[in-house]
Amino acid sequence: MRSIGHFIAGREVAGTSGRFADVFEPMTGEVQAKVALATKAELRAAVENAREAQRDWAATNPQRRARVLMKFLELVQRDYDKLAELLAREHGKTIPDAKGDIQRGLEVVEFACGIPHLMKGEYTEGAGPGIDIYSMRQPLGVVAGITPFNFPAMIPMWKFAPALACGNAFILKPSERDPGVPMALAALLIEAGLPAGVLNVVNGDKEAVDAILDDPDIRAVGFVGSSPIAQYIYERAAATGKRAQCFGGAKNHAIIMPDADMDQTVDALIGAGFGSAGERCMAISVAVPVGKATADALMEKLIPRVEKLKIGPSTDPSADFGPLVTREALERVKNYVEIGVKEGATLAVDGRNFKLQGYENGFYMGGCLFDNVTRDMRIYKEEIFGPVLSVVRAHDYAEALSLPSEHDYGNGVAIFTRDGDAARDFAAKVNVGMVGINVPIPVPIAYYTFGGWKRSGFGDLNQHGPDSVRFYTKTKTVTSRWPSGVKEGAEFVIPTMK
Protein backbone atom coordinates (compact mmCIF):
# COMPACT_ATOMS: atom_id res chain seq x y z
CA MET A 1 0.00 0.00 0.00
CA ARG A 2 1.24 3.47 -0.85
CA SER A 3 2.33 5.77 1.93
CA ILE A 4 2.08 9.51 1.24
CA GLY A 5 4.05 11.96 3.36
CA HIS A 6 4.74 15.64 2.75
CA PHE A 7 6.75 17.56 0.14
CA ILE A 8 9.25 19.80 1.91
CA ALA A 9 12.54 21.31 0.75
CA GLY A 10 12.18 19.88 -2.72
CA ARG A 11 11.47 16.23 -1.86
CA GLU A 12 8.91 13.94 -0.33
CA VAL A 13 9.44 13.26 3.37
CA ALA A 14 7.67 10.87 5.71
CA GLY A 15 5.24 12.21 8.27
CA THR A 16 6.26 12.08 11.93
CA SER A 17 2.91 12.56 13.69
CA GLY A 18 1.94 8.89 13.70
CA ARG A 19 -1.51 9.94 12.43
CA PHE A 20 -2.74 8.88 9.00
CA ALA A 21 -5.89 9.13 6.89
CA ASP A 22 -7.15 6.55 4.44
CA VAL A 23 -7.12 7.40 0.75
CA PHE A 24 -9.84 5.35 -0.92
CA GLU A 25 -10.26 4.14 -4.45
CA PRO A 26 -13.90 5.23 -4.99
CA MET A 27 -14.39 2.75 -7.85
CA THR A 28 -13.91 -0.24 -5.56
CA GLY A 29 -14.32 1.19 -2.08
CA GLU A 30 -10.89 -0.12 -1.09
CA VAL A 31 -8.18 1.78 0.77
CA GLN A 32 -5.35 2.38 -1.70
CA ALA A 33 -3.00 4.60 0.35
CA LYS A 34 -2.32 6.13 3.73
CA VAL A 35 -1.57 9.85 3.91
CA ALA A 36 0.27 11.38 6.83
CA LEU A 37 -1.47 14.11 8.83
CA ALA A 38 0.90 16.88 9.83
CA THR A 39 1.47 18.32 13.27
CA LYS A 40 1.87 22.01 13.99
CA ALA A 41 5.62 21.43 14.24
CA GLU A 42 5.77 19.87 10.77
CA LEU A 43 3.85 22.80 9.33
CA ARG A 44 6.20 25.19 11.07
CA ALA A 45 9.23 23.42 9.59
CA ALA A 46 7.75 23.83 6.11
CA VAL A 47 7.14 27.54 6.73
CA GLU A 48 10.69 28.12 7.93
CA ASN A 49 11.98 26.34 4.85
CA ALA A 50 9.75 28.45 2.62
CA ARG A 51 10.75 31.68 4.32
CA GLU A 52 14.42 31.05 3.64
CA ALA A 53 13.84 30.03 0.03
CA GLN A 54 11.52 32.94 -0.72
CA ARG A 55 14.19 35.63 -0.41
CA ASP A 56 16.18 34.45 -3.41
CA TRP A 57 13.04 33.57 -5.35
CA ALA A 58 11.66 37.09 -4.87
CA ALA A 59 14.99 38.48 -6.10
CA THR A 60 14.72 36.37 -9.26
CA ASN A 61 13.42 38.57 -12.06
CA PRO A 62 9.82 37.94 -13.18
CA GLN A 63 10.85 36.67 -16.61
CA ARG A 64 12.96 33.91 -15.10
CA ARG A 65 10.15 32.99 -12.72
CA ALA A 66 7.85 32.76 -15.74
CA ARG A 67 10.30 30.41 -17.47
CA VAL A 68 9.98 27.95 -14.60
CA LEU A 69 6.21 27.95 -15.05
CA MET A 70 6.61 27.53 -18.81
CA LYS A 71 8.77 24.46 -18.23
CA PHE A 72 6.22 23.19 -15.71
CA LEU A 73 3.55 23.43 -18.43
CA GLU A 74 5.66 21.21 -20.67
CA LEU A 75 6.19 18.62 -17.95
CA VAL A 76 2.52 18.41 -17.02
CA GLN A 77 1.68 17.89 -20.70
CA ARG A 78 4.29 15.13 -20.80
CA ASP A 79 2.70 13.38 -17.82
CA TYR A 80 -0.90 14.30 -18.68
CA ASP A 81 -2.27 10.77 -18.97
CA LYS A 82 -0.48 9.52 -15.87
CA LEU A 83 -1.73 12.46 -13.79
CA ALA A 84 -5.29 12.02 -15.06
CA GLU A 85 -5.28 8.33 -14.15
CA LEU A 86 -3.97 9.10 -10.66
CA LEU A 87 -6.56 11.82 -10.19
CA ALA A 88 -9.41 9.56 -11.35
CA ARG A 89 -8.26 6.70 -9.14
CA GLU A 90 -8.24 8.88 -6.00
CA HIS A 91 -11.23 11.13 -6.70
CA GLY A 92 -13.57 8.94 -8.74
CA LYS A 93 -14.27 11.28 -11.65
CA THR A 94 -13.90 9.86 -15.13
CA ILE A 95 -10.55 10.14 -16.88
CA PRO A 96 -11.86 12.65 -19.48
CA ASP A 97 -13.22 14.76 -16.61
CA ALA A 98 -9.88 14.41 -14.79
CA LYS A 99 -8.11 15.71 -17.88
CA GLY A 100 -10.45 18.69 -17.87
CA ASP A 101 -9.55 19.28 -14.20
CA ILE A 102 -5.86 19.42 -15.14
CA GLN A 103 -6.44 21.57 -18.24
CA ARG A 104 -8.38 24.28 -16.38
CA GLY A 105 -5.50 24.49 -13.93
CA LEU A 106 -2.94 24.76 -16.71
CA GLU A 107 -4.82 27.69 -18.21
CA VAL A 108 -4.15 29.70 -15.05
CA VAL A 109 -0.49 28.66 -15.18
CA GLU A 110 -0.43 30.00 -18.76
CA PHE A 111 -1.91 33.28 -17.51
CA ALA A 112 0.71 33.46 -14.75
CA CYS A 113 3.48 33.13 -17.35
CA GLY A 114 2.63 36.72 -18.30
CA ILE A 115 3.81 37.94 -14.91
CA PRO A 116 6.49 40.32 -16.29
CA HIS A 117 3.64 42.38 -17.73
CA LEU A 118 1.16 41.76 -14.92
CA MET A 119 3.48 43.06 -12.19
CA LYS A 120 4.34 46.32 -13.93
CA GLY A 121 3.66 49.39 -11.81
CA GLU A 122 2.67 52.93 -12.81
CA TYR A 123 4.75 56.05 -13.39
CA THR A 124 3.82 59.71 -13.49
CA GLU A 125 6.51 62.20 -14.51
CA GLY A 126 6.07 65.74 -13.25
CA ALA A 127 3.27 65.02 -10.82
CA GLY A 128 4.36 68.21 -9.04
CA PRO A 129 7.22 70.71 -9.33
CA GLY A 130 10.21 68.43 -9.90
CA ILE A 131 8.29 65.48 -8.44
CA ASP A 132 7.81 62.04 -10.02
CA ILE A 133 5.60 59.33 -8.57
CA TYR A 134 5.76 55.65 -9.34
CA SER A 135 4.43 52.41 -7.89
CA MET A 136 5.76 48.86 -7.73
CA ARG A 137 4.29 45.50 -6.84
CA GLN A 138 6.22 43.30 -4.42
CA PRO A 139 5.52 39.77 -3.14
CA LEU A 140 3.99 39.21 0.28
CA GLY A 141 6.46 36.52 1.37
CA VAL A 142 5.09 33.13 2.43
CA VAL A 143 1.48 32.44 1.47
CA ALA A 144 -0.73 29.35 1.74
CA GLY A 145 -3.54 27.56 -0.05
CA ILE A 146 -6.04 25.11 1.45
CA THR A 147 -7.70 23.26 -1.41
CA PRO A 148 -10.65 20.83 -1.74
CA PHE A 149 -11.00 17.25 -2.91
CA ASN A 150 -13.21 17.91 -5.91
CA PHE A 151 -10.54 19.58 -8.07
CA PRO A 152 -7.20 18.22 -6.81
CA ALA A 153 -5.27 19.56 -9.82
CA MET A 154 -7.13 22.67 -10.93
CA ILE A 155 -7.55 24.57 -7.68
CA PRO A 156 -3.99 24.01 -6.38
CA MET A 157 -2.73 25.41 -9.70
CA TRP A 158 -5.18 28.30 -9.46
CA LYS A 159 -3.58 29.11 -6.12
CA PHE A 160 0.12 28.43 -6.46
CA ALA A 161 0.73 29.54 -10.07
CA PRO A 162 0.04 33.28 -9.60
CA ALA A 163 1.51 33.22 -6.09
CA LEU A 164 4.82 31.76 -7.30
CA ALA A 165 4.90 34.00 -10.37
CA CYS A 166 4.63 37.04 -8.09
CA GLY A 167 7.70 35.92 -6.12
CA ASN A 168 6.07 34.33 -3.08
CA ALA A 169 6.82 30.98 -1.47
CA PHE A 170 3.79 28.75 -1.16
CA ILE A 171 2.49 26.26 1.42
CA LEU A 172 -0.14 23.94 -0.08
CA LYS A 173 -2.49 22.00 2.19
CA PRO A 174 -4.50 19.84 -0.22
CA SER A 175 -7.42 17.62 0.67
CA GLU A 176 -6.36 14.49 2.49
CA ARG A 177 -8.93 12.56 0.43
CA ASP A 178 -6.92 12.75 -2.83
CA PRO A 179 -3.40 14.10 -2.19
CA GLY A 180 -1.58 12.19 -4.93
CA VAL A 181 -1.83 14.74 -7.74
CA PRO A 182 -0.80 17.76 -5.62
CA MET A 183 2.29 15.83 -4.53
CA ALA A 184 3.06 14.96 -8.16
CA LEU A 185 2.65 18.59 -9.24
CA ALA A 186 5.12 19.69 -6.57
CA ALA A 187 7.70 17.23 -7.89
CA LEU A 188 7.17 18.52 -11.44
CA LEU A 189 7.78 22.09 -10.29
CA ILE A 190 11.15 21.04 -8.88
CA GLU A 191 11.94 19.30 -12.16
CA ALA A 192 10.97 22.53 -13.95
CA GLY A 193 13.58 24.46 -11.99
CA LEU A 194 11.70 25.84 -9.01
CA PRO A 195 14.18 26.18 -6.14
CA ALA A 196 13.67 23.69 -3.32
CA GLY A 197 11.50 25.08 -0.56
CA VAL A 198 9.64 27.66 -2.63
CA LEU A 199 6.66 25.31 -2.76
CA ASN A 200 5.94 22.86 0.06
CA VAL A 201 3.01 20.46 0.36
CA VAL A 202 1.83 19.69 3.89
CA ASN A 203 -0.87 17.05 4.10
CA GLY A 204 -3.18 17.17 7.07
CA ASP A 205 -6.53 17.86 8.66
CA LYS A 206 -7.85 20.62 10.92
CA GLU A 207 -4.65 20.63 12.98
CA ALA A 208 -2.65 21.62 9.91
CA VAL A 209 -5.27 24.18 8.86
CA ASP A 210 -5.22 25.88 12.26
CA ALA A 211 -1.42 25.86 12.23
CA ILE A 212 -1.51 27.70 8.89
CA LEU A 213 -3.98 30.26 10.22
CA ASP A 214 -1.96 30.90 13.37
CA ASP A 215 1.52 30.96 11.85
CA PRO A 216 2.96 34.50 12.01
CA ASP A 217 5.07 34.11 8.87
CA ILE A 218 2.18 33.19 6.56
CA ARG A 219 0.92 36.47 5.15
CA ALA A 220 -2.08 35.30 3.11
CA VAL A 221 -4.29 32.25 2.81
CA GLY A 222 -6.64 31.08 0.06
CA PHE A 223 -9.33 28.48 0.63
CA VAL A 224 -12.00 26.61 -1.34
CA GLY A 225 -14.50 24.34 0.41
CA SER A 226 -17.77 24.54 2.33
CA SER A 227 -19.19 27.90 3.46
CA PRO A 228 -19.00 27.29 7.22
CA ILE A 229 -15.30 26.43 6.95
CA ALA A 230 -14.70 29.30 4.51
CA GLN A 231 -16.16 31.72 7.04
CA TYR A 232 -14.15 30.15 9.87
CA ILE A 233 -10.90 30.45 7.92
CA TYR A 234 -11.68 34.01 6.80
CA GLU A 235 -12.44 35.21 10.32
CA ARG A 236 -9.48 33.44 11.95
CA ALA A 237 -7.07 34.60 9.24
CA ALA A 238 -8.30 38.19 9.57
CA ALA A 239 -7.86 38.02 13.35
CA THR A 240 -4.16 37.26 12.84
CA GLY A 241 -3.65 39.98 10.22
CA LYS A 242 -3.59 37.74 7.16
CA ARG A 243 -5.11 38.42 3.79
CA ALA A 244 -7.84 35.88 3.14
CA GLN A 245 -9.56 34.74 -0.03
CA CYS A 246 -12.12 32.09 0.91
CA PHE A 247 -14.70 30.46 -1.34
CA GLY A 248 -17.55 28.36 -0.04
CA GLY A 249 -20.59 26.44 -1.16
CA ALA A 250 -23.07 27.02 -3.96
CA LYS A 251 -26.60 26.44 -5.12
CA ASN A 252 -26.38 27.29 -8.79
CA HIS A 253 -29.65 27.92 -10.62
CA ALA A 254 -30.50 27.57 -14.30
CA ILE A 255 -33.41 29.72 -15.42
CA ILE A 256 -35.28 28.26 -18.41
CA MET A 257 -37.37 30.83 -20.26
CA PRO A 258 -40.34 29.75 -22.40
CA ASP A 259 -38.46 30.59 -25.61
CA ALA A 260 -35.37 28.51 -24.74
CA ASP A 261 -34.20 25.75 -27.07
CA MET A 262 -35.38 22.86 -24.91
CA ASP A 263 -33.12 20.20 -26.41
CA GLN A 264 -30.00 22.31 -25.90
CA THR A 265 -31.16 23.27 -22.41
CA VAL A 266 -31.66 19.66 -21.37
CA ASP A 267 -28.22 18.74 -22.73
CA ALA A 268 -26.77 21.58 -20.66
CA LEU A 269 -28.61 20.56 -17.48
CA ILE A 270 -27.60 16.92 -17.79
CA GLY A 271 -23.92 17.75 -18.20
CA ALA A 272 -23.78 20.57 -15.66
CA GLY A 273 -25.98 18.84 -13.10
CA PHE A 274 -24.56 15.33 -13.16
CA GLY A 275 -21.00 15.64 -14.45
CA SER A 276 -18.41 14.58 -11.87
CA ALA A 277 -21.32 13.10 -9.87
CA GLY A 278 -22.38 16.65 -9.01
CA GLU A 279 -19.23 17.21 -6.94
CA ARG A 280 -18.55 20.64 -8.42
CA CYS A 281 -19.01 24.04 -6.82
CA MET A 282 -20.26 25.22 -10.22
CA ALA A 283 -22.67 22.34 -10.79
CA ILE A 284 -26.21 23.29 -11.74
CA SER A 285 -28.32 21.85 -8.94
CA VAL A 286 -31.53 23.84 -9.42
CA ALA A 287 -33.50 24.16 -12.67
CA VAL A 288 -36.10 26.95 -12.74
CA PRO A 289 -38.54 26.64 -15.67
CA VAL A 290 -40.72 29.72 -16.15
CA GLY A 291 -44.39 28.84 -16.59
CA LYS A 292 -46.25 25.55 -16.36
CA ALA A 293 -45.89 24.71 -20.05
CA THR A 294 -42.11 25.20 -19.87
CA ALA A 295 -41.88 23.10 -16.72
CA ASP A 296 -43.94 20.27 -18.14
CA ALA A 297 -41.93 20.22 -21.37
CA LEU A 298 -38.69 20.26 -19.40
CA MET A 299 -39.69 17.35 -17.17
CA GLU A 300 -40.87 15.34 -20.17
CA LYS A 301 -37.40 15.52 -21.67
CA LEU A 302 -35.39 15.41 -18.43
CA ILE A 303 -36.82 12.25 -16.89
CA PRO A 304 -35.71 9.79 -19.61
CA ARG A 305 -32.31 11.48 -19.88
CA VAL A 306 -31.65 11.14 -16.15
CA GLU A 307 -32.87 7.54 -16.20
CA LYS A 308 -30.44 6.73 -19.03
CA LEU A 309 -27.34 8.25 -17.43
CA LYS A 310 -24.46 5.81 -17.56
CA ILE A 311 -22.59 5.47 -14.29
CA GLY A 312 -19.37 3.53 -14.39
CA PRO A 313 -15.83 3.22 -13.09
CA SER A 314 -13.50 6.12 -13.75
CA THR A 315 -11.67 4.04 -16.32
CA ASP A 316 -14.79 3.54 -18.48
CA PRO A 317 -14.51 6.05 -21.35
CA SER A 318 -18.24 5.80 -22.04
CA ALA A 319 -19.36 6.59 -18.48
CA ASP A 320 -21.19 9.89 -17.91
CA PHE A 321 -19.91 10.04 -14.35
CA GLY A 322 -18.22 7.83 -11.78
CA PRO A 323 -18.51 7.25 -8.04
CA LEU A 324 -18.55 9.83 -5.27
CA VAL A 325 -15.32 10.42 -3.42
CA THR A 326 -16.05 8.51 -0.17
CA ARG A 327 -18.73 6.37 1.43
CA GLU A 328 -19.52 9.24 3.81
CA ALA A 329 -20.17 11.50 0.82
CA LEU A 330 -22.43 8.87 -0.72
CA GLU A 331 -24.47 8.44 2.47
CA ARG A 332 -24.75 12.21 2.88
CA VAL A 333 -26.25 12.61 -0.58
CA LYS A 334 -28.66 9.71 -0.07
CA ASN A 335 -29.76 11.29 3.19
CA TYR A 336 -30.57 14.53 1.39
CA VAL A 337 -32.72 12.63 -1.10
CA GLU A 338 -34.65 11.10 1.78
CA ILE A 339 -35.08 14.56 3.31
CA GLY A 340 -36.51 15.82 0.01
CA VAL A 341 -39.03 13.02 -0.12
CA LYS A 342 -40.13 13.72 3.45
CA GLU A 343 -40.42 17.43 2.70
CA GLY A 344 -42.94 16.68 -0.05
CA ALA A 345 -40.91 17.12 -3.23
CA THR A 346 -41.71 14.75 -6.09
CA LEU A 347 -38.86 12.30 -6.66
CA ALA A 348 -39.26 11.75 -10.40
CA VAL A 349 -36.06 9.67 -10.73
CA ASP A 350 -34.52 7.81 -7.80
CA GLY A 351 -30.93 6.67 -8.26
CA ARG A 352 -30.18 5.68 -4.68
CA ASN A 353 -30.29 1.94 -5.26
CA PHE A 354 -27.90 1.89 -8.19
CA LYS A 355 -25.34 -0.93 -8.06
CA LEU A 356 -22.58 -1.58 -10.56
CA GLN A 357 -21.82 -5.23 -11.25
CA GLY A 358 -18.27 -6.07 -10.25
CA TYR A 359 -17.98 -2.83 -8.24
CA GLU A 360 -20.60 -3.45 -5.57
CA ASN A 361 -18.46 -1.85 -2.85
CA GLY A 362 -17.76 1.31 -4.84
CA PHE A 363 -19.31 4.64 -3.91
CA TYR A 364 -21.80 4.77 -6.77
CA MET A 365 -25.16 6.45 -7.01
CA GLY A 366 -27.52 6.99 -9.91
CA GLY A 367 -28.90 10.35 -10.91
CA CYS A 368 -31.82 11.74 -8.92
CA LEU A 369 -34.39 14.25 -10.18
CA PHE A 370 -36.83 16.17 -8.00
CA ASP A 371 -39.86 18.12 -9.21
CA ASN A 372 -42.09 20.56 -7.32
CA VAL A 373 -39.30 21.69 -5.02
CA THR A 374 -40.04 24.87 -3.08
CA ARG A 375 -37.76 27.50 -1.63
CA ASP A 376 -38.50 26.52 1.99
CA MET A 377 -37.15 22.96 1.57
CA ARG A 378 -33.73 21.94 2.83
CA ILE A 379 -32.89 20.30 -0.48
CA TYR A 380 -33.28 23.77 -2.03
CA LYS A 381 -31.57 25.80 0.67
CA GLU A 382 -28.55 23.55 1.30
CA GLU A 383 -25.76 22.34 -0.95
CA ILE A 384 -26.14 18.60 -1.64
CA PHE A 385 -22.93 18.12 -3.67
CA GLY A 386 -24.07 15.02 -5.47
CA PRO A 387 -25.93 13.85 -8.60
CA VAL A 388 -29.24 15.44 -7.62
CA LEU A 389 -31.12 18.02 -9.71
CA SER A 390 -34.09 19.91 -8.24
CA VAL A 391 -36.75 21.57 -10.36
CA VAL A 392 -38.35 24.68 -8.85
CA ARG A 393 -41.29 25.89 -10.94
CA ALA A 394 -41.54 29.68 -11.31
CA HIS A 395 -44.79 31.38 -12.39
CA ASP A 396 -43.04 34.23 -14.19
CA TYR A 397 -39.69 35.86 -14.92
CA ALA A 398 -39.78 38.04 -11.80
CA GLU A 399 -40.12 34.99 -9.54
CA ALA A 400 -37.37 33.17 -11.44
CA LEU A 401 -35.03 36.15 -11.01
CA SER A 402 -35.78 36.33 -7.29
CA LEU A 403 -34.83 32.71 -6.58
CA PRO A 404 -31.03 32.93 -7.15
CA SER A 405 -30.98 36.58 -6.10
CA GLU A 406 -32.44 35.86 -2.65
CA HIS A 407 -30.64 32.56 -2.01
CA ASP A 408 -27.92 32.48 0.66
CA TYR A 409 -25.39 31.31 -1.92
CA GLY A 410 -24.36 33.43 -4.90
CA ASN A 411 -21.74 31.48 -6.80
CA GLY A 412 -23.03 30.90 -10.33
CA VAL A 413 -26.26 31.15 -12.30
CA ALA A 414 -27.36 30.62 -15.90
CA ILE A 415 -30.27 31.68 -18.07
CA PHE A 416 -31.43 29.87 -21.19
CA THR A 417 -33.29 32.06 -23.65
CA ARG A 418 -33.36 33.36 -27.22
CA ASP A 419 -34.37 36.83 -26.00
CA GLY A 420 -31.39 39.18 -25.81
CA ASP A 421 -33.32 41.77 -23.81
CA ALA A 422 -34.28 39.21 -21.16
CA ALA A 423 -30.71 37.91 -20.98
CA ARG A 424 -29.29 41.42 -20.64
CA ASP A 425 -31.79 42.34 -17.93
CA PHE A 426 -31.07 39.11 -16.04
CA ALA A 427 -27.28 39.55 -16.18
CA ALA A 428 -27.59 43.10 -14.86
CA LYS A 429 -30.03 42.39 -12.03
CA VAL A 430 -29.27 38.91 -10.67
CA ASN A 431 -27.50 38.98 -7.29
CA VAL A 432 -24.89 36.33 -8.14
CA GLY A 433 -21.17 36.57 -8.87
CA MET A 434 -20.88 34.59 -12.13
CA VAL A 435 -23.54 34.53 -14.84
CA GLY A 436 -23.96 32.31 -17.88
CA ILE A 437 -26.18 33.17 -20.84
CA ASN A 438 -26.95 29.87 -22.58
CA VAL A 439 -23.78 28.65 -20.84
CA PRO A 440 -24.48 26.11 -18.08
CA ILE A 441 -21.20 26.33 -16.14
CA PRO A 442 -20.11 29.99 -16.26
CA VAL A 443 -16.52 29.52 -15.08
CA PRO A 444 -14.58 32.50 -16.45
CA ILE A 445 -11.46 31.90 -18.49
CA ALA A 446 -8.11 32.34 -16.78
CA TYR A 447 -7.56 36.03 -17.49
CA TYR A 448 -10.87 36.99 -15.86
CA THR A 449 -11.53 36.43 -12.16
CA PHE A 450 -13.52 33.62 -10.54
CA GLY A 451 -15.58 34.25 -7.43
CA GLY A 452 -19.04 34.07 -5.94
CA TRP A 453 -21.07 36.44 -3.78
CA LYS A 454 -22.86 36.18 -0.46
CA ARG A 455 -22.02 32.95 1.42
CA SER A 456 -20.18 31.62 -1.61
CA GLY A 457 -17.27 34.00 -1.15
CA PHE A 458 -15.47 35.71 1.75
CA GLY A 459 -12.89 38.38 0.96
CA ASP A 460 -12.50 41.27 -1.44
CA LEU A 461 -10.45 39.64 -4.20
CA ASN A 462 -11.26 36.67 -6.41
CA GLN A 463 -9.26 33.76 -7.80
CA HIS A 464 -7.07 33.92 -10.92
CA GLY A 465 -7.08 36.78 -13.41
CA PRO A 466 -5.90 40.26 -12.34
CA ASP A 467 -7.29 39.80 -8.82
CA SER A 468 -4.80 36.99 -8.16
CA VAL A 469 -1.87 39.32 -8.81
CA ARG A 470 -3.39 41.96 -6.54
CA PHE A 471 -3.99 39.36 -3.83
CA TYR A 472 -0.46 37.96 -3.85
CA THR A 473 1.37 41.30 -4.00
CA LYS A 474 1.51 44.52 -2.02
CA THR A 475 1.79 47.91 -3.70
CA LYS A 476 4.54 50.36 -2.79
CA THR A 477 4.24 53.95 -4.03
CA VAL A 478 7.30 56.19 -4.26
CA THR A 479 7.19 60.00 -4.41
CA SER A 480 10.55 61.27 -5.68
CA ARG A 481 12.14 64.73 -5.87
CA TRP A 482 15.82 65.45 -6.55
CA PRO A 483 17.67 68.46 -5.06
CA SER A 484 18.04 70.51 -8.27
CA GLY A 485 15.81 73.57 -8.13
CA VAL A 486 14.45 72.82 -4.66
CA LYS A 487 13.96 75.96 -2.58
CA GLU A 488 15.47 76.05 0.87
CA GLY A 489 13.52 76.33 4.09
CA ALA A 490 11.16 74.13 6.05
CA GLU A 491 7.58 73.58 4.95
CA PHE A 492 4.96 73.15 7.65
CA VAL A 493 1.87 72.50 5.54
CA ILE A 494 0.87 69.20 4.00
CA PRO A 495 2.37 68.78 0.50
CA THR A 496 -0.09 69.40 -2.34
CA MET A 497 0.13 69.55 -6.11
CA LYS A 498 -1.44 73.01 -6.30
Beta bridge partners of 311: 321
In 3D space, the residue among 143, 139, 132 whose CA is nearest the CA of residue 477 turns out to be 132
Beta bridge partners of 388: 368
User: Which ranges in 92-131 belong to alpha helices (H)?
Assistant: 95-112, 115-118
d(CA 47, CA 187): 18
Which residues touch 358 (CB under 8 Å, ≥6 apart)? none
DSSP state of 374: -
Provide the strand spans (E) within 373-486. 388-391, 409-410, 412-416, 434-437, 453-454, 457-458, 473-481
Which residues touch 13 (CB under 8 Å, ≥6 apart)? 5, 6, 7
Contact in structure between 419 and 430 (CB atoms under 8 Å): no
Contact in structure between 250 and 258 (CB atoms under 8 Å): no
Considering 113, 246, 281, 368, which one is annotated as catalytic? 281
d(CA 88, CA 85): 5
Cβ of 353: how many Cβ atoms within 10 Å?
Answer: 8
281 is catalytic: yes
The residues carrying an active-site annotation are 281
